[in-house]
Amino acid sequence: MNERERMTCENGKKCPLHILSLEDSPMDEELIKEYLLENFGSEIQINMVANEEDFISAISKDKFDLILSDFRLPGFNGFQALAHAKAICPSTPFICVSGFIGEETAVELLKQGATDYVSKENLGRLKQSIERALKELKDQNDLKEIRLSLIKSVERYKALTQTSIDGFFVLDIEGRFLEVNDAYCKTSGYSREALLSMNIKDLELDEVDKQTDAHIQKIIDEGGDKFENRHRKSDGTFFCVDNSVTFMPNEKLFICFLHDITNRKKTEKDFLYMIYHDYLTELYNRRFFEEERKRLDKEENLPISIVMGDINGLKLINDGFGHSKGDELLIEIAKNLKSCCREEDIISRIGGDEFGILLPKTDSQSAQRICDRIYDTCKGHALDGNSIYPSISLGYATKNFETETMDDILTAAEESMYKQKLLESRSAHNSIIASIKVIMFEKSQETEEHAERMVQLSKSIGIAMSLTDDQLNELELLATLHDIGKMSIPAAILSKTGKLSDEEWVEMKKHPEVGFRIAQATSELVPIAKYILCHHERWDGKGYPQGLIGEKIPLLSRIVAIADSFDAMTNDRAYRVAMTKEEAIEEIRRNSGTQFDPEVTRVFIEKVLGQEWEQLNKI
């Protein structure tokens, strides 16, 4: 049965669902109204108010089945609206329907008694939220009727409690079970017979005997209590309950109703976890780091050290291997940090590639030893299936005296880390470049022999064209790494023996741009980045990725294009056998002025290969 059919009026007809909507935006007001009418039909009555005064007046004069409230309102907010509702009509479900308010605010609303929070960006969830709220309200009303029936008939009362979805039991003055319903048996995992032989002290996980005795006395003195706690299940796990306990002095009995709130508590816990943790590494985040930095700033924690860390080459890994491999690097670094620190240390990811560690009661010598352990651990752990080792630069500073500020210690730790990063940067990048070369040769089907031939051919052309030493050095690096972008191409495409499909060719043509991004990510390769980008451009403008023409193509890219083509033609490939040297020379000559720079072609054929250019042109 639909929740709007939950009751009938005195004349036997269905009562319309009466909703109060607190919304100050006319556009959103109309949107919510249309949504409600579409999902609940004509059997609905909607009252709309836009300010605090009208809201208080409405809930004071009329009885509503449900309240929908925006959070940001003129002159007040959702917390204040909820407070008014709880004071005037406490049993009416209150759902906050608003724009994004953040997990922390949403959790606080739920803690203060809101039924739910629904984002306006996800309004489709509102129907489910309303139906659940009305169902819970119906259940609560049913419980009230059940409690009233206790006065009339104990037997009838027992029968009714067995139909309740919530737990119910009766305790004697000592806390022993006298009666229990099926719902509590099902939730707790105990049989009725087992529970009737037990005491409540056997189940209340959060209270020891003395606390339980004190709580029982409080309930006797005050006639009842409402509270949350945890009960132990038969399998040793626990569930969270919202208790409503009434003491009957004449009978000396406790009448207990329990609502299972385990899911709600889990939701709150998940919200809090998200607020204080980094979703990827599961370390603490910057928010928690800053709060703990203030909390730990006490004399009893001195000396306290701060370690700051910055990953080397993360952008290079992201561009060269994809962001999933960069994520692997971050996760591996996080594991290494946790394995090298103590349980009481606060390890946080405070930025994209930055980490912070708070070390209470740790002097500078101990902080240095922890940094050394982290370095050693990183050196010994390559990423799965790769020759890439996690690399992080670390710096630290220690607060020894109460007069020193944590802000100054943090700044000193950052400065120490940046100095260390500067010292390590060249070796770290060289290590990553060396790893990339190894992986490039493995994945791109290219060989070190090909790279060596490319260097020899390219430098021979450069020397013949009287390039400077700097240009020759760049040309050597370019000849080795011009195809670095092929690391992003699936191996199945690179090793395919047949003709590439249109889709595969599109993928293949991306590698100059990927190579350009990789080169831009490290200072050692920045000088050749534009040459990598252009090494598949053609003299006639029909190349890729930019379609550059003639001398707009960098000279070093034009040189590598000829050397690469010649070496490819004169060596076996997966898709064809090698040409003879003469056939390759003729192919290069025929494409002079279209695919290749004619002047570079002439120098290559005449001065590098020792062939007569004029004679070849007559063939």
571 against 428, higher pLDDT: 571
Order of strands across the sheet that contains 253-260:
177-180, 167-172, 253-260, 238-248, 224-232
> What whole-number percentage of the chain has pLDDT above 90?
58
Q: Tell me whether the omega of the peptide bond preceding residue 390 falls within 30 degrees of 0, making it cis.
A: no
Contact 201, 175 (CB under 8 A): yes
**Which stretches does DSSP call E strand in 249-370?**
253-260, 304-311, 346-349, 354-359
Residue type present at position 83: A
> How far are the Cα atoms of 204, 372, 374, 393, 394 from residue 369, in angstroms, in the given order?
45, 5, 9, 14, 12
Q: Of 78, 134, 135, whose CA–CA distance to 110 is shortest?
A: 78
With a cut of 50, say whether residue 4 has pLDDT above it: no
**Do 539 and 598 contact (CB within 8 A), yes or no?**
yes
> Under CATH, domain 3-135 is a member of which superfamily?
Response regulator (3.40.50.2300)
Residue 6's pLDDT band, with cuts at 50, 70 and 90, is very low
Whether 149 contacts 157, CB under 8 Å:
yes
State the chain's mean pLDDT as an integer: 86
**What pLDDT digit, counting tens, does each position of 368-397 carry?**
999 999 998 988 766 555 556 678 999 999
pLDDT computed for residue 143 by the predictor: 67
User: For 238-248, what is the mean pLDDT?
Assistant: 93
- In 3D, which of 272, 275, 277, 239 has the Cα closest to residue 258? 239
Sequential DSSP letters for 478-506: HHHHTTGGGGGS-HHHHT--SPPPHHHHH
- Does an H or E element contain 100, and which? none
Per-residue pLDDT tens over the stretch 601-612? 999 999 999 887
CA 72 vs. chain centroid, Å, equals 27
Cα–Cα separations (whole angstroms), residue 187 to 136, 147, 199, 232 = 18, 21, 17, 10
Q: Rounded to an integer, what distance in angstroms lies between the CA atom of residue 385 and that of residue 368?
A: 31
Q: Where are the alpha helices (DSSP H) in 388-541?
A: 406-443, 448-464, 469-481, 491-494, 502-508, 511-520, 529-534
Rounded to whole angstroms, how far apart are CA atoms 191 and 196?
Answer: 9
The architecture in CATH of the region 153-265 reads 2-Layer Sandwich (3.30)
The reported pLDDT for the residue numbered 569 is: 92
> Angle, nearest 10°, between helix axes 323-340 and 314-321?
140
Helix (H) or strand (E) holding 286: helix 286-295
Nearby residues of 459 by Cβ (< 8 Å), 6 or more positions away: 472, 475, 476, 479
The DSSP output letter for 48 is: E
C-alpha 180/C-alpha 297 separation (Å) is 51
Pick from 153-167, 199-213, 511-525: least confident: 153-167
How much is the pTM? 0.54
CATH match of 444-617 with 1.10.3210.10: yes
Strand, helix or coil for residue 160: helix
CATH no., domain 282-424: 3.30.70.270
Q: 317 pLDDT band (50/70/90 cuts)? A: confident
Residue 155's contacts (CB-CB under 8 Å, 6 or more residues apart) are none
Answer yes or no: is pLDDT of 338 > 90: yes
Closest to 239 (Cα-Cα) out of 211, 266, 200:
266
Q: What is the pLDDT of residue 41?
A: 80
CA 122 to chain centre: 20
**So what's the pLDDT on residue 292?**
96
Per-residue pLDDT tens for 568-580? 899 877 667 889 9
- Region of poorest pLDDT, from 38-47, 137-146, 404-413: 137-146
Provide φ and ψ at 168, rounded to 5°.
Answer: -150, 135
Instruction: Tell me how far apart the alpha carbons of residues 70 and 26 are, in angstroms, rounded to a whole number.
Output: 12
Nearest Cα to Cα of residue 65 among 146, 133, 152: 133
Q: In sequence order, what are the beta bridge partners of 177?
A: 171
- The pLDDT value recorded for residue 90 is 87
pLDDT band at 237 (very low <50, low <70, confident <90, very high): very high
Instruction: Please compute the mean of the pLDDT values over residues 185-205 and round it to a whole number.
Output: 90
* pLDDT band per the 50, 70, 90 thresholds, residue 409: very high
How do residues 504-544 score in pLDDT, each as one tens digit? 999 999 999 989 988 887 777 889 999 999 999 999 999 99
CB 247 within 8 A of CB 254: yes
User: pLDDT value at position 421?
Assistant: 85
At 445, the pLDDT band (50, 70, 90 cuts) reads low
Residue 416 has pLDDT above 70, yes or no: yes
Residue type, 326: G
Residue 546 reports pLDDT greater than 50: yes
355: tokens are 């980490």
Q: How far apart are CA 278 and CA 347, in angstroms?
A: 11
**Helix crossing, 469-481 with 448-464: angle to 10°?**
150
Structure tokens at 439: 């992986």
Distance CA 328, CA 331 (A): 5
Each domain of the chain, given as residue ranges in start order, spans: 3-135, 153-265, 282-424, 444-617
DSSP string, 562-601: HHHHHHHHTS-BTTBPPPPHHHHHHHHHHTBTTTB-HHHH
| Residue 436 predicted with pLDDT over 50 | yes
